[in-house]
C-alpha cells in the first residue's frame, strides 16, 4: 500500500482532546495534517461522539472508508471522570457561562451524597442542556441559547451503568460515570445538585473510555502530528 493510502482505506485514530478545542477543530486539524503530509486533495475524517470544549479526553476519529463505522462507535458505552461543584448553578450547567444562582449546602453530608447517587443509576429520564449541539427546527440549541431564545426541551431516557463518588472536598465532588449514548454529564451534575436540595454545575470533565477504547492509548494532537511526520504511513496503530 502506498505511503498514506491506509488513511483512505480507513483508520481509527484515538486522540486525547485538549481543553478549549471543539471536536470539529480536532477533526479539521487532523484532516489538514494528513492532507499536507501525503498531498491528498481531500480525505474523509469524522469523529465518533462530540466532547464539549471544556471537556478533555478520548475522541475517536475515523478516516476514509472507516467513517462508515462512526455510528457503531457512537452507540458504545462511555466512561467519564470529573468534578461537580455544588452550591451554584450556571445556565450551561458547566463553566461556559457565569453563575446565575447560589444555594445552601450546609446540610450536605457525605452520607447524603453517597445515598443520592443511587437515584441516578439505571434507566433515568434526563433533559439535555439548552447549551447543546442538539437541533430544533434546524438550529443548534446552543445557537438559540446564545441568542437569548428560550425553548422547551423534552426529557429522554438514558442509562447510567455506574455513578461512583471518588472524592469529596466540598464544594467539589469528584466522580466516575459509565453511561449510554446520549447522556449529558452536565445535566447529570445539574440534576444531582437538585437532588441534594441545592444546586450544582459541572466544573471538570474527562472522557476516559468509549467501549473498549481507553484514553491511555490515545495521542495528543501534537504527538500524532509528530508521529505522522516521523513515520509516515506508520502514524497510527
Cell of 89: 448553578
Contact 186, 90 (CB under 8 A): no
52 is catalytic: yes
DSSP at 132: S
Cell of 165: 463518588
Long-range contacts of 181-184 (CB under 8 A, 24+ apart): 181/49, 181/74, 181/75, 181/76, 181/77, 181/78, 182/156, 182/158, 183/78, 183/126, 183/158, 183/159, 184/93, 184/126, 184/128, 184/129, 184/132
d(CA 70, CA 84): 30
DSSP-derived pairing of the beta strands 200-210 and 156-169: unpaired
Contact 205, 17 (CB under 8 A): no
Strand partners, 174: 83, 167
Nearest to 91 by CA among 3, 4, 170, 202: 202
Q: Which of the following is catalytic: 52, 106, 123, 137?
A: 52
Q: Which residues are catalytic?
A: 52
Amino acid at each position: 500500500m502506498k505511503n498514506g493510502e491506509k488513511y483512505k482505506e480507513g483508520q481509527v485514530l484515538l486522540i486525547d482532546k485538549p481543553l478549549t478545542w471543539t471536536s470539529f477543530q480536532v477533526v479539521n486539524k487532523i484532516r489538514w495534517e494528513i492532507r499536507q503530509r501525503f498531498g491528498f486533495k481531500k480525505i474523509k475524517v469524522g469523529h465518533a461522539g462530540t466532547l464539549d470544549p471544556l471537556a478533555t479526553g478520548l475522541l475517536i476519529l475515523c478516516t476514509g472508508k472507516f467513517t462508515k463505522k462512526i455510528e457503531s462507535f457512537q452507540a458504545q458505552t462511555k466512561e467519564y471522570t470529573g468534578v461537580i461543584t455544588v452550591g451554584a448553578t450556571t445556565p450551561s450547567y458547566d463553566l461556559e457561562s457565569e453563575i446565575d444562582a447560589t444555594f445552601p449546602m450546609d446540610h450536605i453530608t457525605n452520607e447524603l451524597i453517597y445515598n443520592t447517587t443511587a437515584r441516578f443509576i439505571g434507566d433515568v429520564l434526563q433533559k439535555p442542556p439548552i447549551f447543546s449541539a442538539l437541533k430544533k427546527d434546524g438550529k443548534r440549541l446552543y445557537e438559540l441559547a446564545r441568542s437569548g431564545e428560550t425553548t422547551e426541551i423534552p426529557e429522554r431516557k438514558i442509562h447510567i451503568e455506574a455513578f461512583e463518588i471518588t472524592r469529596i472536598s466540598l464544594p467539589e465532588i469528584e466522580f466516575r460515570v459509565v453511561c449510554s449514548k446520549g447522556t449529558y454529564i452536565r445535566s447529570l451534575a445539574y440534576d444531582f445538585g437538585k437532588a441534594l436540595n441545592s444546586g450544582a454545575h459541572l466544573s471538570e470533565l474527562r472522557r476516559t473510555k468509549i467501549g473498549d477504547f481507553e484514553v491511555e492509548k490515545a495521542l495528543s494532537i501534537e504527538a500524532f502530528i509528530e508521529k505522522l511526520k516521523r513515520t509516515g504511513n506508520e502514524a497510527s496503530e
